[in-house]
Amino acid sequence: MKKLFFVVLYLLPVMLFAQSTPDKAVKADNYTILRLLMINQQEEILLVKYKTGWLTPSLRYNENQSIKGALDSLAREFGYEITVPQLRAMVTFQFDFKPVVSIRTHYAAHVSGGKLKSPKDVAEVKWVSRKEAETLMSLPGTEAVDAIRLTTMQILNHPETIWGGSFLVPETGTACRMPEPFYAVGRSK
């Protein structure tokens, strides 16, 4: 009986630790955001006015589907078919207020068919020039972090390069710091 008591006493902390470890992993909430830079025949960019401001279309990637399938589905939400999406940037968002990291991947694709429609959860959608995209994404009152605009403009200004980088996202405000400035990780087609 004494041996059984010591075995249970020894195993109890091990079992409790093993049960709590998955919970901590789940609470970390690391995730990927896919952004899609859709380009039409006039070389305009599709921007969406979300609650946080004007941005490229995006989705939180956590469904059981391929990246291409997710991006095709995102394009269809706006009424379009697209060419095969090409990776243009992969950056990390580190947060100064929580111990997680989020990966943001940016893809570019040309529209191959369809007609613009506005999904119900967005205020407005429109095609804009590259210059107008930068202006809209910088408007006062924009609540989205500036890292999205900075990465989008880096891609538009240097479309032949695939970019990496890292942003430190503040708990308040929109200005991010870049512990790892943009760097080339590859060449696009």
108, 159 contact by CB (below 8 A): yes
> Which residues span the domain enclosing 107?
27-187
Query: For residue 140, what are the CA distances in angstroms to 137, 143, 144, 173?
Result: 9, 9, 11, 12
Q: Is residue 182 part of a domain?
A: yes
- Label residues 44-75 b or e (16+ Cβ within 10 Å = b): bbbbbbbeebbbbbbbebeeeeeeeebbbebb
Q: Is residue 11 part of a domain?
A: no
The pLDDT of residue 65: 87
Q: Is residue 13 part of a domain?
A: no
Q: What element of type H or E holds 68?
A: helix 67-77
Q: Which of 101, 117, 147 is nearest to 46 (CA)?
A: 117
Return the residue matching tokens 């991947």: 105
Helix axes 130-137, 146-157, angle to 10 degrees: 170
The pLDDT of residue 36: 98
Q: Is residue 111 part of a domain?
A: yes
> Vertex 140, ends 138 and 142: CA angle to 5°?
70
The pLDDT of residue 28: 56
Strands 31-39 and 58-61: antiparallel
Q: Is residue 1 part of a domain?
A: no
Task: Give residue 24's Cα distance to chain centre.
Answer: 23
CATH number, domain of 176, equals 3.90.79.10
pLDDT in tens, the chain (189 residues): 454 444 333 433 433 444 444 444 444 566 789 999 999 999 999 999 999 999 999 999 877 889 999 999 999 999 999 999 999 999 999 998 988 899 999 999 999 999 999 998 888 999 999 999 999 999 999 999 999 999 999 999 999 999 999 999 999 999 999 999 999 999 987
Q: Is residue 91 part of a domain?
A: yes
The pLDDT of residue 173: 92
Residue 117 DSSP label: -
Q: Is residue 17 part of a domain?
A: no
Domain count, the chain: 1
The pLDDT of residue 61: 85
Q: Is residue 8 part of a domain?
A: no
